[in-house]
Structure 1
Amino acid sequence: MSNERKVMGAIFATGLLSFSGVIVETAMNITFPTVMREFNVGTSTVQWLTTLYLLIVATVIPLSAFLKRRFKMRQLFLVANLLFMLGLILDATAPAFWVLLLGRAVQGLGTGIALPLMFNIILEQVAPAKIGMMMGVGTLITGIAPAIGPTFGGLITTYLSWRYIFVFLLPVLLVSLGLGWTCILQKSALAPSRLDKLSVGLLVLAFAGLIYGVSTISGANVLVSVLAIVIGALALSAFAVRSRHETQPILDLSPFKQKKFAQFAIAFVCFQMMALGLSFVLPNYLQLVNQASALAAGLIVLPGAAIGAVLAPISGRLYDHFGPKRPIISGVTVVLLGMLVFVINGMPLSDAQVLGCYVLFMFGVGLAFGNILTTTLAQLPKQQQADGNAIMNTLQQFTAALGTAIASAIVAGGQAGRSQIAGTMLGSQWALWFLLGLAVIAWLQLTWTLRRR
């Protein structure tokens, strides 16, 4: 097998593992109403199946630079794959909600190792002239999962049981395992590294405090929620200070000294929060307000998600030919238009309105999202790109968890003291206004930054 084929195989193997993590995440969003009934839990509790998973991923990803220096890529991949398989088995057989939650946490450990591994292979082993296209391919592999995840989850839940979502992914993991064992090569030399345990503890405390506080802010114990947010913010500040004084920090924050890196990262965060916020709001709205089945809800969001995924490598080619400005500005403008149409339509939203608005929104995401990531990392010199990749992957997962938690808290706030239909409708309306605000911020940031290129 040629070296180029092995690189493609390695990207595909790590991508399949990341794909599995995302497809479970989006498939489970569709099953939330069913899981809520089976385990007798509410909206603010069931969302932890997504939020905890993303929280674990966001906590593990900062370790990627340390792990890359300390262990061979193939070893990391094997550990990630086996952890994910264990998580699937736990979830498929879960007798109680806490076991289901534990399985999602174990899957988060696997995905947290695998996701930066894929992008590190692309950045390290792909020729510079093909970086844009291969970043698009990497985005497509993980991006196709949100396209088929809701429909997959709805189909399985309607005709079998939501537990088969985990069962059917086991063969995919076995294919990924065999391909990774064959194709993943070690190109960079290993180096002795020390893990700063205090920094890891501060990062866990920061993410957990912020996510827990935000997700429970609409509940009865507001004081505890605010205290958790304050503790999380203080821990994050302490982590940033400590990282500046460590010779080998677990997450080197020095890329933020590059002004344009920081500017593009802000827009990237807004996109991720919008995408995950909508992926929580829409399936629940369709089932709880429009009384759609899990399968119907999945089919309604399928076209939009599919368009976003298919456009990822195409927009990567546009980046390679024309640079970042045209695809990114076009994409973020369409995203803003999509969110405006969502809000202007008002409530209630018909199934057709949800489908049309989501297609428009995801068309913009497909044009811009992967290119924003590529452009952000392009602001850094080669020696900082592994650290930049770790930062962006951490931001991606943490802000995805934050977006889901905020959307869940807003919807739960609307549901408080109201009927399920009226409350979900009101909470969804509030959530869409919040997501529109993020779209405005992203549009302003990107048009300003790219205008000056």
Structure 2
Amino acid sequence: MNRNKTFHLFGAIIATGILSFSGVLIETAMNVTFPLLIQEFEVTTSEIQWVTTIYLLMISVIVPISSYLNQNFSARKLFITANLFFLLGVLINCLSSTFFLLLLGRLLQGVGTGIGLPLMFHIILTRVPTEKRGMMMGIGTLTTSIAPAIGPTYGGLISNLLEWRYIYIFLIPLIVLSLILGLNSIPSQASKERQPLPLRCVFFLAITFISFIMALSAESGIVFALFLTIGLASSFVFVWFNSKTPLLQLSVLKNGKFSLFLLSLLIYQALLLGLSFVFPNYLQISAGFSSSIAGIFMFPGALMGAILAPVSGKLLDRIGAKKPILIGLSTTMVGIALLAALLHTNSLVLLIGAHLVLMTGLGFSYSNLMTCSLNALPTNQISDGNAFVNTFQQFIGAVATALVAAVFSFSQKKYGFIPGTASGALIVLLIFFLLLVISTIAAYSALKKKKCDEIESAKFDF
């Protein structure tokens, strides 16, 4: 194995970028296959959501310790570990003959992505010269924003033309290429002095996240109450241990402006992951479209959101945050309302148009909400705030997926599988409309507190 001593920056960023791209791509690519997986593995809607939920849960647990990992292990060791975890998970899913193996593969992929994604940004922030860092951060962010846009389309086309396992088979050459590039670009480094990891904090944070998701997935009141109690108890224990040896700096929540922007941002995150569950399932089960059509449906809107993200940032620099954020949130609410009103038509053109309206609004406001949330913090808390934001973005994505699946499952049991899916989709859209009202109120309240100034790209410490 080549243990080169020279750090080839461009190769290292490409290698970690390919790994991160693959991880974010696979986050959304599987949602479109859920109706197929329900039949093949003979599972329920509430069970199939774990294909996405377990993946997001693992990322949400790993991301908080990314700072510790980057400080205590070399970039080469972390890259190899992330790559091998992800590759092993992909190989398991290529051969999955049982639902358990499918979930095991997804779990390992989540570990790999949870290590690899922060590593990419860590390399950019610590290795790229300041005058070029903004451009590299833009490339890194573009990588992670384009992947979700093409994920459902990729998954839908592959599962329709071939078979869902080829979603993973076609990733193998990419991961191998990433590994080869990384081994030749990221050199070995002297062992770092190890600092202790607050294992108790990690353990109780994981128990908290898993228990709350299990509660949402419960099919009886007793099981719901049991896991909710465990989740609440473990969250209190986590806070107690975290106050002694911090894993996450909860003190950032004392900043009212940050908390309000964060609330608005997390509702958006829930919307994104929730809709990526709703429409692939609704279009196939209730509307009768193929998996490839269901995947293509998500692409125009997701691509619009990705394209508008840098445009919205320029608007923030020129005219401030208030207009882009509030116009974006209002447009998103109009889009949700149109989707709810047009859902019964099963018209692909009308629904794509409504989804484009929604994603246009999201494109104008989503990235600005993140910018303003971090900008509300003092400079010495930017890194802590970003770790907090990234952790709870992944967790709220898992919560949204579990909640949507629970609504679908309840509706399907009450009205039947096909009409229940349509009814569940409408209920979820109405819930998200109400949540967007709360998101708008939170953002407006935060914007009234004080002008939101622009933030330096170098402050985005993953």
TM over 0.5: yes
Q: Is the 8 A contact 1:133 1:317 kept in 2?
A: no
Structure 1: which 5+ residue stretches go unaligned?
Answer: none
Considering only aligned residues, what root-mean-square deviation do their CA atoms show, in Å? 2.6
C-alpha spacing 1:155/1:236, structure 2 compared with 1 (3 Å): same
Is the 2:200–2:241 Cα contact (8 Å) retained in structure 1?
Answer: no
Q: Partner letter of residue 398 of structure 1? A: F
8 Å Cα contact 1:274/1:435 also seen in 2: yes
Residue 356 of structure 1 aligns with an amino acid whose one-letter code is: G
Find out whether 1:241 has 2:243 as its counterpart.
Answer: no
Flag the 1:242–1:186 CA change in 2: closer, same or farther, 3 A.
farther
Given residue 358 of structure 1, which amino acid in structure 2 is its aligned partner? H
Shift of 1:321: 4.7
Q: Is the 8 A contact 1:57 1:397 kept in 2?
A: yes
User: Residues 286, 100 of structure 1: CA spacing in aligned structure 2 closer, same or farther, 3 A cutoff?
Assistant: same
% identity of equivalent residues: 42
Distance 1:81 1:343, change over 3 A: same
Does 2:94 match 1:92?
A: yes
Q: Does residue 377 of the first structure (1) align with residue 379 of the second (2)?
A: no
| Shift in Å, 1:136 | 4.6
Taking structure 1 as reference, are residues 241 and 58 closer, same or farther at Cα in structure 2, changes over 3 Å only? same
Work out the CA distance in 2 between the residues paired with 1:88 and 1:199: 29
Q: Cα offset for 1:448?
A: 2.1
Please state if 1:170 is matched with 2:172: yes
Deviation of 1:419 (Å): 2.2
Which residue, 49, 73, 76 being the options, matches 1:74?
76
Q: What SS does the corresponding residue of 2:344 show, helix, strand or coil?
A: coil
Distance in 2 between residues matched to 1:443 and 1:409, nearest whole Å: 26
Query: Residues of 1 paired with 2:319 and 2:181: CA distance?
Result: 34
Partner of 2:4: none
SS in 1 for 2:415: coil
Contact residue 35 and residue 46 of structure 1 kept, 8 A: yes
For residue 298 of structure 1, report the CA deviation from its aligned partner: 1.0
**Secondary structure of 2:163's match?**
coil
* Residue 14 (structure 1) aligns with: 16
Instruction: Tell me which of 302, 307, 310 is aligned to 1:305.
Output: 302
Instruction: Give the Cα separation in 1 of the matches to 2:34 and 2:371.
Output: 33
Instruction: Give the TM-score normalised by structure 2.
Output: 0.89
The Cα of 1:436 is off from its aligned counterpart by 1.1
Separation of aligned partners in 2, 1:184 and 1:384: 30
* SS in structure 2 of the partner of residue 194 of structure 1: coil
Preserved CA contact (<8 Å) 1:139 1:370: no
Residue 444 of structure 2 is aligned to residue 447 of structure 1:
yes
The reply to whether residue 332 of structure 1 matches residue 329 of structure 2 is: yes
Question: Is this contact kept in 1: 2:342–2:351, CA < 8 A?
Answer: no
Which residue identity is paired with 1:269? L
The CA deviation string for residues 58-84 of structure 1, in whole angstroms up to 9 with x for no partner, is: 111111121122112332122111110
- How far does the alpha carbon of each residue in 1:173-192 deviate from its partner, in whole angstroms, 9 at most, with x for none? 233334444555899x9554
SS of the residue corresponding to residue 337 of structure 1 reads helix
Which amino acid is 1:231 matched to? I
Give, in angstroms, the shift of residue 376 of structure 1: 2.2
SS at match of 2:414: coil
SS in 2 for 1:416: helix
Preserved contact between residue 75 and residue 186 of structure 2 (Cα < 8 Å): yes
Once the two structures are TM-superposed, the CA of residue 236 in structure 1 deviates from its matched residue by: 1.5
The aligned counterpart of 2:455 is none
Partner of 2:229: 230
1:432-453 CA distances to partner (integer Å, 9 max, x unpaired)? 1111122112111112212331
Structure 1 distance, partners of 2:144, 2:383, is 19
Tell me which residue corresponds to 1:144: 146
The match for 2:359 is 362
Distance in 2, matches of 1:212 and 1:283, equals 23
- Cα distance change on mapping 1:378 and 1:302 into 2, 3 Å: same
Q: Are residue 207 (structure 1) and residue 209 (structure 2) matched?
A: yes
Q: Give the match for residue 65 of structure 2.
A: 63
Could you tell me which residue of structure 1 aligns to residue 275 of structure 2? 278
> Pick from 384, 394, 402: which aligns with 1:405?
402
CA displacement at 1:258 relative to structure 2: 2.8
**Deviation for aligned residue 1:153:** 1.0
After superposition, give the CA deviation of every residue in 1:195-229 in whole Å (9 maximum; x if it has no partner).
Answer: 1221111111100100111122xx2x221112202
After alignment, is 57-66 or 400-409 more displaced?
57-66
Identify which range, 256-265 or 149-158, moves more after superposition.
256-265
- In 2, Cα distance between equivalents of 1:102 and 1:190: 31
CA spacing shift, 1:55–1:184, aligned 2, 3 Å: same
Deviations 1:340-387 (A, max 9, x none): 222333535432232112111112222222232233223334443333
Match in the other structure for 2:45: 43
Amino acid at match of 2:202: V
2:111 to 99, 102, 109: 109
Aligned pair in 2 of structure 1 residues 117, 223: CA closer, same or farther (>3 Å)?
A: same
In 2, the alpha carbon distance for the partners of 1:140 and 1:373 equals 15
Question: Would you say 1:422 and 2:424 are equivalent positions?
Answer: no
CA distance in 2, matches of 1:192, 1:122: 23
Aligned pairs, number: 444
Q: Secondary structure at the match of 1:284?
A: helix
In the TM superposition, what is the alpha-carbon distance from 1:14 to its structure 2 partner?
2.9
Relative distance call for 1:122 and 1:168 in structure 2 (3 A) is same
Normalised by the size of structure 1, how large is the TM-score? Answer: 0.90
The answer as to whether partners of 1:132 and 1:320 remain within 8 angstroms in 2 is no
Tell me if structure 2 keeps the 8 A contact 1:120–1:389: no
Distance 1:319 1:123 in 2: 23
Which sits farther off after the overlay, 390-399 or 13-22? Answer: 13-22
Q: 1:7 to 1:342 in 2, by over 3 A?
A: farther
Structure 1 residues 143 and 308, CA gap change in structure 2 (3 angstroms): same
Residue pair 1:15, 1:141 contacting (<8 A) in 2 also: yes
Which segment drifts farther, 233-242 or 396-405? 233-242
CA distance in 1, matches of 2:102, 2:421: 25
Give the superposition deviation at 1:323. 4.6
For 1:186 and 1:322, how far apart are their aligned partners in 2?
47
Asked if the contact 1:290/1:351 (under 8 Å) is kept, the reply is no
Alignment check: 8 A CA contact 1:115 1:393 kept: no
Are the counterparts in 1 of residues 260 and 445 from structure 2 also a CA contact under 8 Å? Answer: no
Distance 1:96 1:253, change over 3 A: same
Q: Secondary structure at the match of 1:380?
A: coil
Preserved CA contact (<8 Å) 1:243 1:250: yes
Aligned to 1:34: 36
